[in-house]
Structure 1
Amino acid sequence: MGDFTNNLEASLHKGFIDKEYEKAANYDPQFLVNRGQRRVLTSILEELEKSQSFMFSVAFITESGLAMLKSHLLDLKAKGIKGRILTSNYLYFNKPETFKELMKLTNVEVRITNVEGFHAKGYIFQHNSHYTLIVGSSNLTAKALKVNHEWNIKLHSLKNGDIVDQFVNEFVNIWEQSTPLNEAWIQSYKREYDLRKQTDPILHLAEAKNTYSQLDIQFVITPNKMQERALAEIQSVREADNSRSLVVSATGTGKTYLSAFDVRAFKPKRMLFVVHREQILKKAMSDYKKVLGGKDEDFEIIGGSVKQSNAKYVFAMIQTLSKDENLRGFEPGEFDYILIDEVHKAGAQSYLNVINYFTPKFMLGMTATPDRTDHYNLYELFDYNIAYEIRLQEALEEDMLCPFHYFGVTDIEVDGHVLEDATLAAKLVTKERVKHIIEKIFYYGYSGQKLRGLIFCSQKEEAKELASALTTMGYLSVALTGETSALEREKQVKRLEDGDINYLITVDIFNEGIDIPSINQVVMLRQTKSSIIFIQQLGRGLRKHESKEYVTVIDFIGNYQNNYLIPIALSGDRSQNKDNVRRSVKDTSYISGVSTINFEYIAKQRIYNAIDATNLTKQTILKNAFEELKNRLGRAPWLKDFVDHRSVDPYVIANKNDNYYHFLLKMKEDIPVLSAYEQAVLTMLSAEVLNGKRKHEIYLLDLLLDRFAVTKQGYETLLTELGIYVDEETLRSVERIFDLSFFVDRDTLKYGNKPIVEMNDDSYSFNESIATSLRNNSFFKEMLLDIVYSAKAKSGRYDKERPLTINQKYSRRDACKLLNWDNDESSTVYGYKTKHGTCPIFVDYHKAEDDEDSINYQEEFISRDIFQWSTKRNRKKTSPEVSTILNADQIGIDLHIFVKKDKAEGTDFYYLGKGTCQEETAIQTTIGEGADQKPIVHVNIQLEEPVEHHLYRYLIDVG
């Protein structure tokens, strides 16, 4: 309690008296405005996770706002934590459906106040030692929690504080006079709500804002902003005398309308639209009519019994058109504009027959997934002309898609075993699992009046038995597989759209080429095979429709080997960098708009385990990424191309293969020969500069590649102009890196055994061997420039004003280098080591189970800003190294704290910043038993800054 009180006093001093106050203040008042790191939703979730109970007082609640909290509230239920929500019927804003959703929260009691004009917005969290309040403008709605420009203040108070006492008393007073939420109250409210909706124009307008009908009408008449940009780019491709081009556009972003707008601008004499599915064809022709206008006879479909057409706008099934007798009924130049939809299928012979036969003035290919698992080079087919590209994240930012709430939920154990890749169908449809599925789909729910869902599963028998079981339980379901006829599929799709059934359960179909905009729930019951398929299935629900505000995505996560693909697919991060993938699980703020990504606790741990267990840098994965990018570019990519196209992390490739030159050789690329020494230089720069962790080496290289020599003063001037910190210790460290004196003998030999950069008369220059190579070998120079470009890009995440960046990861060797040690002493650092006025401390947070003494190390977070740490064994408080650390603050030694979750994370640790030992907490005890007992010291370390919330939860959770 004393520590909290001291911190709170310091926080209040900083927050209300002097913002420059430097004493540790970890409970500062915060202004939450939904910008940057100050988002209301993030703060609410952070407080919920550590609360003992909570009270929300909010006038308005939406289903989407509630969905953002559901998985977190379920985790709290598992821990026995309860809460209360006080809301109202003020202005009849809250829908009856919202109250039904509130009834599902069995660990949350809800009451309705009749206080006239109730418009309160406050969130109160009770913790062990204190309360936290978030009070201001945010109701419990999706936009208020994540998007709108809100004004909220976040405060902390001891339980005896007057302000929290006032808040709690006001809440309790209104609570005791309020009506408990129950089914009877909801039915009564619904009758009043429906009556008001018919007569109250304001209420009707408020509800209309949750639909997209007006948006869709406007969308048909004129292009949206994205389409305007895309149309300009397509026109630019044509103006450059190109006759073919690709548009890559996420599912649901209106690429059919986009193509129609371009046809309208092009004014072809005749146009041909080609696709593989009749349903798409009919919808496309309908959309084109809205955009192009004209007579009905101007539009005709080729398919079924219709083999030919003289219409101006022809819409053709590829299966019909590609037959030789039908194809040759047209002249090769008959159409001056041809569109190929779902063009990723163009590697099939039927498509190639059509594409190679016709000679239009312009051909446009459209797809959401150009990168195929079969490695067919679609880009080459369209002359490497990508007119426009919009992926999932960009589409969400542009508000082109229906928002979604993704829930990674925990799949059930069957007969004591968690479902795995090889689980048989019989175990996938047991009564226990069906019950579990129903519990989850009911709890997470859907938006709209009627449930219309798609369920993806992995086996045909599973689909059929599950359809039968769900139907028996009241969820009318139909199984569709590859064996189902096209006619039957269309019939069942219409039944789903009409609300006659609740679910279509599919296996290996409907990943693409199906358009059911009214789908409001997508359920994934199969392991993720690829990121492409995952996004395709997610995309089935992302089309906007007037019947829904958002789509619910429920992904059942078992012990699947490919679980690591889930965060990769959702974030769009293809770096193959494990740290990035973990970051995408623990912090999902990358998702735009009101969409959210949520993982139940156990499901999240299963993903972490899959990340740890998999090898993301397998040569086959890197080869596939290389070939994909090569197909896109029409040439072998450089490292910088991986950066520019947001593909694999260049450092991952180089680190796996010593350097990129070696990787190109393994890819059997025809490249110039480099000498053994040139290769050694590439290896050194790839290992020591490419990671971007210190900017100084990057910019010295940049200068030298431009001028071959540079004065020390010129180098320092550049660093200063760029805002990069400069001091003699760091400059000396950079010199020791480039003259190789920092490294151990093994590395020095690997890096060529002679200085790469020499210093003479206060100037830097490459050694003569490198200078000669740069003059005579343009390929070698290009490879060095490539490393510098890529290193600059990677360095953007690192602080330029200090050596180490909080929340980034570093190895022991990185610490030796960045703390300006003379030599690489990483092999002898172990848990900690004091050198050159610094002491880096490295901790594996979760010790190995086979370490008998691990429990005695007592290394854990007391709070986000206090870490309990243990010295090495056989150390006393009076031991010189321990005394030095305990008194580091007084004698001018900086303690730097590095922590990783466990050994499975590899060699890199998260940097948590500087710390100060709380000497009064130091305790000397023993470790081991009997004759093996040794002294050990435990002490609390106060961090300068509290650990970022998402990282803190990740580190302390048992994975």
Structure 2
Amino acid sequence: MDNLIQSLEASLHKGFIDKQFNKSGGYKPKLLVNNFKKNENVLSTLLEELDQSKSFIFSVAFITESGLATLKSHFLDLHRKGVKGRILTSTFLQFNQPKVFRELMKIKNVEVRLTDLKGFHSKGYIFNHDTHYSLIVGSSNLTAHALKINYEWNVKLTSLENGEIVHHFKSQFEEVWEQSKILTEEWIEEYEKTFSQTVENRELEKVIEMPTPYQTNAIEESLNIAPNKMQQAALQQIESVRAAGNDKGLIISATGTGKTYLSAFDVRRFAPKRLLFIVHREQILNKAKSDFKKILGGIDEDFGILSGSNKQINAKYLFATIQTISKQDTLNEFDPQEFDYILIDEVHKAGAQSYRKVIDYFQPKFFMGMTATPERSDDFNIYELFDYNIAYEIRLQEALEEDMLCPFHYFGVTDLDINGENVDDATILTKLVNEERVKHIIEKIEYYGFSGEEVKGLIFCSRKKEAEELSAALNDRGLRTVALTGDDSQEERSLQVNRLENGQLDYILTVDIFNEGIDIPCINQVVMLRQTQSSIIFIQQLGRGLRKHKTKDFVTIIDFIGNYKNNYIIPIALSGDKSQNKDNIRRHTKDTSYIKGVSTINFEEVAKKRIFSAINNSNLTTLKILKDAFTELKNRLGRTPSLYDFIEHHSIDPVVIVDKYSNYYQFLLKMKEEVPAITNYEDKVLTMLSIELLNGKRKHEIVLLDLLMQHGKGEQEELINRLTKEGCKIDEDTIASVKSIFDLSFFTQVFKKKYGDKPIVTLKDNCFLFNEEIRESLVGNPYFKTMVMDLLLCAKEKSEKYDCVHSLTLYEKYSRKDVCKLLNWHNDESGTIFGYKTKHRTCPIFITYHKKDEIESSVNYGDELLSQDVLKWYTRSNRTVNSEEVKTIINAEENNIDLHIFVKKDDDEGTDFYYLGKAKPVKNTVQQDVMKDGKPVVHMNMVMEDTIDQNLYSYIVEGNEI
């Protein structure tokens, strides 16, 4: 408690008296705002406090379904822990709709009351923690816009229980609470009778706006329909492709972003004498024809269908199925130059013979392809087909940022344990549709709900039989569902889609037939009951609900996460991160703030742990995974990618490639690329530069390499000048450390041999020089020089996220060898550091937080983060308070020794540790204890110089048990 009070006092001093106050405190008052550019929002802090609370109270005037949805999975996790809360709200201005009260009734661990206090307009959130209270008070109601988008001011304060401010807030709350009505079903029924949503109510908070003028019926004149801002930019890009003399272009646009309208605008600008629009499914034709007619205008006879049932081949604008147009008899009816402009929808299918036949036959003035998923697994290069001309590209993240899609709330929920076993690939059908699982599915879809008056849902199953039997089981329980599979005709599919749209069905259950090529904008709930096969399929199925529609403010995505080996694909797909870097994927699972707009990503606690388990147990760098990514990038570029291309196109992290293959040249050989030869020594030099510089963890070596590559030599004075310009730390020890890296004296014998066994760079007369062999290689082998320059470019890019002023960057990951280098130790002593080692006035401390159950009792230390500011740390065993190494650490401050704390969650994370910053021992907490094996050990509390980031703290502390 003393530590808490000191930290709180320091925080208040910094927050209210002097911002320059340099004592650490993790509880300083904080202004909470929604800042798109900094990726900050009120919601993230609210969730941090909620997840750590022992109880909570909210006092909010306005609540929306979307706002409540952002908290639902968190409420459920708290319910499992026995944590309860209270919400006080009202019917002020009749803003809160009756349905939101029904949604509140679903949350079992939250008691809700309603006040009729005149002008009730409070927005306050109070969280009770073990040792203190946190308060968030300001302008944000419990709405998704207020928590993520709107310009809001909120203050977060921390108080002990006896603090006057928390006492005032709680007493105010209790006073109103006691006079308020308990929320009941009867109260909701009465409220529904009197509820009327006026125009003024709706203007209070616009939950959704239809994004483009063409979606209103008020505009009848086609030429008055104008493209929106994004479409205008896209049209300019398409026009520039044509202006450059190209007759082909590819549009890559996320599902729901209006590819059809975009293409229609371009056709209107191009003004072809005749247009051919090709699709792969007949039910899309009429919708495409209708959309084009809105944009192009003209008489009905100008627009025709060419399909199995229609043969309007003379129409000016012809909309055809590939099945019909590809028949030789049909093609023969057209002159190859019949159409000025040809459009192919879902063009990623163009590798099929039917498409190639049509493409090879016609000779249009301009040929446009459209797809949301250009990446293929069938070796067909869609980019080559369009001469590598990407006319326009917008992916899911960008589309959300631009408000082009319907916001979504994704819930990764826990699939059922059946007889103690998780649902996985081997689970038999009878278990998938047994009464217990059906009940579990219904509970989840009801709890997480949907936006709008009635559910219009799609459920993706893993097998045809599961879809059929689950549909029957759901119907037995009062839902109206139908199963559709590949066995059903197009007519049957269209009929059932119409029934869903018209409110005659609640759900359509399917396997894969609705992944693409179907447009049901009213979908307000997507349920995933199948294994995540690939990022592409995941995004396709997610995209079924992302079209905007007047009947919904958001779409609910409910993903049942079973015991599948590739659950890690979920955060990859949602974040768009293809780096195959496990640490990135872990972060995207824990911290989902990368998702833009009012959309949110939520994982129930157990589901999250299943994903972490899948990440730990999966090999993300198998030859197949890396080869697929390499081929995809090569296809896109039309050439062998450079290493920097992987960064530029957001593909695999180059460090991942180097960790597996030592250098990029070796990787290219593995990919069976025809590349110029390099010598054995050149290969070893590339390996050294790749392993030691590519990760960018210290900029100094990169600056020196850049200097050498530019001028062939580097004066020490020039190096210091450049480092100064970069804002880097400069001292004798650091420069000496850089020298020891390049002359290899820092490394162990094993690494010296791996790196060529002789200095790569020498320092003579204050001038750095490559050794003679490298100088000759750079002149005599242009390919070797190209490889070094490529590597240097990547290293510069990677170095941008590291602190150049300080040796180490908070919350980045480092190996023991990295730490030896960055702390300017003369040699790599990583093999003898073990838990900690004091040297050169530094002492790095390495902690594996969750040890394996089978670990020996002699090394199973009880290291524990007591809070975001305090670490309880154990020395090695068989040490006493009188051991010299222990006394050195206890008296670190007096001895001018910096203690650096490095922590990894568990051994599954590999050899790298998160850097949590410096720490200082609290002397009055030093105690000698005894290990289980009877050997002495010393433990003490250490106060962190920097309060540990909440997301990282939670990630490290949380156990992995499912």
Shorter-chain-normalised TM-score: which range?
A: over 0.9
Give the counterpart of 1:61 among 50, 55, 63: 63
CA contact (8 A) 1:307 1:320 kept: no
Give the counterpart of 2:124 among 122, 125, 142: 122
Q: CA deviation at 1:267?
A: 0.6
Q: CA deviation at 1:38?
A: 4.9
Q: CA deviation at 1:204?
A: 5.0
User: Is the counterpart of residue 170 in structure 1 residue 168 in structure 2?
Assistant: no
Tell me the residue number matched to 2:251: 247
Q: Distance in 2 between matches of 1:147 and 1:205?
A: 16
Q: Distance in 2 between matches of 1:744 and 1:440?
A: 56
Tell me the residue number matched to 1:410: 414
Q: CA deviation at 1:856?
A: 5.9
Deviations 1:483-528 (A, max 9, x none): 1111101100111111100100001211111100000000000110
Residue pairs, 1:523-602, within 5 angstroms: 523-602=527-606
Tell me the residue number matched to 1:202: 200
Q: Distance in 2 between matches of 1:105 and 1:726?
A: 57
Tell me the residue number matched to 2:775: 771
Tell me the residue number matched to 1:788: 792
Q: Distance in 1 between matches of 2:828 and 2:860?
A: 30
> What amino acid does structure 2 have at the position aligned with 1:619?
L
Q: Distance in 2 between matches of 1:40 and 1:204?
A: 23
Q: CA deviation at 1:203?
A: 2.7
Give the counterpart of 1:691 among 684, 691, 695: 695
Tell me the residue number matched to 1:831: 835
Q: CA deviation at 1:39?
A: 2.5
Give the counterpart of 1:884 among 875, 888, 891: 888
User: Is the counterpart of residue 706 in structure 1 residue 706 in structure 2?
Assistant: no
How many residues were matched structurally? 952
Give the counterpart of 2:215 among 211, 214, 217: 217
Give the counterpart of 1:616 among 617, 620, 623: 620
Give the counterpart of 2:287 among 283, 287, 295: 283
Q: Distance in 1 between matches of 2:800 and 2:594?
A: 17
Q: CA deviation at 1:201?
A: 3.5
CA contact (8 A) 2:579 2:653 kept: yes
TM-score, normalised relative to structure 2? 0.98
CA contact (8 A) 2:211 2:403 kept: no
Deviations 1:657-690 (A, max 9, x none): 1111111111111111100110000000110001
SS of equivalent to 2:250: strand
Which piece of structure 1 moves more, 722-731 or 261-270? 722-731
Deviations 1:347-382 (A, max 9, x none): 000000110100000000000000012121011111
User: Is the counterpart of residue 396 in structure 1 residue 397 in structure 2?
Assistant: no
SS of equivalent to 1:479: strand
Distance change (3 Å), C-alpha of 1:855 and 1:832: closer
Tell me the residue number matched to 1:381: 385
Tell me the residue number matched to 2:95: 93
CA contact (8 A) 2:31 2:156 kept: yes
Deviations 1:754-776 (A, max 9, x none): 11111111111211111111111
Deviations 1:895-922 (A, max 9, x none): 1100001111110011101111111111
Distance change (3 Å), C-alpha of 1:355 and 1:957: same
Tell me the residue number matched to 1:2: 2
Residue pairs, 1:482-521, within 5 angstroms: 482-521=486-525
SS of equivalent to 1:540: helix
User: Is the counterpart of residue 808 in structure 1 residue 806 in structure 2?
Assistant: no
User: Is the counterpart of residue 464 in structure 1 residue 468 in structure 2?
Assistant: yes
Distance change (3 Å), C-alpha of 1:458 and 1:373: same
Q: Distance in 1 between matches of 2:471 and 2:674?
A: 55
CA contact (8 A) 2:279 2:345 kept: yes
Q: Distance in 1 between matches of 2:419 and 2:161?
A: 47
Distance change (3 Å), C-alpha of 1:474 and 1:211: farther
SS of equivalent to 2:762: strand
Tell me the residue number matched to 1:22: 22
Tell me the residue number matched to 1:142: 144
Deviations 1:464-496 (A, max 9, x none): 111011111122110011111111011001111
Q: CA deviation at 1:724?
A: 2.0
CA contact (8 A) 1:55 1:85 kept: yes
Q: Distance in 2 between matches of 1:613 and 1:807?
A: 23
Q: Distance in 1 between matches of 2:175 and 2:575?
A: 45
> What amino acid does structure 2 have at the position aligned with 1:410?
T
**Unaligned residue ranges in structure 1 (runs of 5+):** none
CA contact (8 A) 1:31 1:38 kept: no
Distance change (3 Å), C-alpha of 1:286 and 1:308: closer
Q: CA deviation at 1:306?
A: 2.8
Q: Distance in 2 between matches of 1:388 and 1:872?
A: 59
Q: CA deviation at 1:725?
A: 2.1
Q: Distance in 1 between matches of 2:331 and 2:212?
A: 41
Tell me the residue number matched to 2:43: 41
**Unaligned residue ranges in structure 2 (runs of 5+):** none
Structure 1 residue ranges, 4+ long, deviating more than 4 angstroms after superposition? 204-209, 213-216
Q: Distance in 1 between matches of 2:304 and 2:703?
A: 62
Which piece of structure 1 moves more, 826-835 or 412-421? 412-421
Q: Distance in 1 between matches of 2:147 and 2:858?
A: 41
CA contact (8 A) 1:639 1:650 kept: yes
Give the counterpart of 2:653 among 645, 649, 658: 649
User: Is the counterpart of residue 732 in structure 1 residue 733 in structure 2?
Assistant: no
Deviations 1:606-638 (A, max 9, x none): 000000000111111111111111111111101
> What amino acid does structure 2 have at the position aligned with 1:386?
I
Q: CA deviation at 1:210?
A: 3.7
Tell me the residue number matched to 2:929: 925
Q: CA deviation at 1:699?
A: 1.5
CA RMSD of aligned residues (A): 1.3
Q: CA deviation at 1:237?
A: 0.7
Distance change (3 Å), C-alpha of 1:724 and 1:185: same
CA contact (8 A) 1:840 1:897 kept: yes
Q: Distance in 2 between matches of 1:506 and 1:699?
A: 56
Deviations 1:544-567 (A, max 9, x none): 000000000000011100101111
Residue pairs, 1:337-348, within 5 angstroms: 337-348=341-352
Which piece of structure 1 moves more, 710-719 or 447-456? 710-719
CA contact (8 A) 2:248 2:389 kept: yes
CA contact (8 A) 1:557 1:603 kept: yes
Q: CA deviation at 1:722?
A: 1.7
Tell me the residue number matched to 1:305: 309
CA contact (8 A) 2:214 2:226 kept: no
> What amino acid does structure 1 have at the position aligned with 2:13?
H
SS of equivalent to 1:718: helix
Give the counterpart of 2:155 among 113, 136, 153: 153
Distance change (3 Å), C-alpha of 1:339 and 1:214: closer
CA contact (8 A) 2:70 2:600 kept: yes
Q: Distance in 2 between matches of 1:928 and 1:106?
A: 43
Tell me the residue number matched to 2:826: 822
Q: CA deviation at 1:213?
A: 8.3
Q: Distance in 2 between matches of 1:346 and 1:526?
A: 27
CA contact (8 A) 2:851 2:860 kept: no
CA contact (8 A) 1:698 1:791 kept: yes
Tell me the residue number matched to 2:953: 952
Q: CA deviation at 1:211?
A: 5.4
CA contact (8 A) 1:213 1:545 kept: no
Q: Distance in 1 between matches of 2:283 and 2:717?
A: 69
TM-score, normalised relative to structure 1? 0.98
> What amino acid does structure 2 have at the position aligned with 1:53?
S
Give the counterpart of 1:867 among 854, 868, 871: 871
Q: CA deviation at 1:928?
A: 3.2
Tell me the residue number matched to 1:256: 260
SS of equivalent to 1:920: helix
Q: CA deviation at 1:305?
A: 3.1
Q: CA deviation at 1:5?
A: 1.2
Q: Distance in 2 between matches of 1:652 and 1:420?
A: 29
User: Is the counterpart of residue 638 in structure 1 residue 642 in structure 2?
Assistant: yes
Q: CA deviation at 1:150?
A: 0.9
Deviations 1:73-96 (A, max 9, x none): 000000111000001101111111
Q: Distance in 2 between matches of 1:211 and 1:254?
A: 15
Give the counterpart of 1:327 among 331, 334, 357: 331
